[in-house]
Amino acid sequence: MSPLREFRSLTVRYEEDIKIEPLRRYYLIFEGANTERKYFQGIDTNRKELGINSHIELVILHKGGEISSFSHPIKLLELIEEKKKSLKRDGKFDKAIDRFVIVFDRDSYEKSEDYVEFVEKASVGNILTVTSPCFELWLILHYEDAVEKYVVPNKDRLFDNEKVSRVHSFASNLFSEISGTNPKSGSFFNKLKGGIDRAIEQEKTLDQNILRMAIEIGSNVGLLIEQMREDPRDAL
């Protein structure tokens, strides 16, 4: 099996020009090949502006070669567990600072009971970052009054998130109409970064509990970003 490739900030430098060693490291793996990965790469690139703590490192895991098509959450769990084993074999695993994050969509599962079974299994030793129905819901929340304007009026259609064209589900099409941007393009993050705090606050009006997302619209992406803004030294 092809190994996961790591993309990380090789040096994190601030005004005082001092390299800061991480006290918490997030390894992130994504269901999608483009949107989620590019979003979190945007967060890492703009980390100082967005308030990501200087003691936190993001490691973006990229699926290439024979595993490039692995997208189902079950496959992501297998890959992240293999990554842990690889880090341990190489003496690079640090239980005190390493966190492993699986970013996926609730609508990867047709049956709510299958989704709940996976969540209960995968949440042991991992952080699950989930959007219901899909990541485009989180992107929509970056826009002003998004819950009132876009989410509530389309609640049932968003939850079902059926395909509306060859390339779009209902949620991805709604985001494209709102933003004028294809979420799979490489340039969408710059349009959204000014709305991240708004998205975090609007997310709190939806369900952030990943088990309840089996039957509800929701997201906990904002919770992860808030964690990344915390100072890990406070937990020592």
Write the pLDDT tens digit of every residue in 20-58: 788 999 999 999 878 999 999 999 999 999 999 999 999
Compute φ and ψ for 85, nearest 5 degrees. -60, -40
Tell me what pLDDT residue 64 has: 84
Residue 171 lies in a domain: no
CA–CA dist 40, 97 (Å, integer): 19
Residue 14 has pLDDT above 60, yes or no: no
User: Whole-number mean pLDDT of the chain?
Assistant: 91
Residue 60 lies in a domain: yes
pTM: 0.93
Tell me what pLDDT residue 19 has: 63
Compute φ and ψ for 169, nearest 5 degrees. -90, 175
Residue 162 lies in a domain: no
Residue 10 has pLDDT above 60, yes or no: no
CA–CA dist 95, 98 (Å, integer): 6
Tell me what pLDDT residue 5 has: 87
Residue 158 lies in a domain: no
Residue 211 lies in a domain: yes
Tell me what pLDDT residue 16 has: 45
- % of residues, the chain, pLDDT over 70: 93
Residue 27 lies in a domain: yes
The pLDDT of 131-156, averaged and rounded, is: 98
The residues near 225 (Cβ < 8 Å, ≥ 6 apart) are: 43, 50, 196, 200
Write the pLDDT tens digit of every residue in 161-203: 999 988 899 999 999 999 998 777 667 899 999 999 999 999 9
Tell me what pLDDT residue 3 has: 75
**Residue 87: which domain range?**
5-135+189-235
Residue 145 lies in a domain: no
Q: How many domains does the chain have?
A: 1
CB 236 within 8 A of CB 26: no
187 against 88, higher pLDDT:
88
Residue 113 has pLDDT above 50, yes or no: yes
Residue 157 lies in a domain: no
CA–CA dist 151, 147 (Å, integer): 5
Beta bridge partners of 163: 169
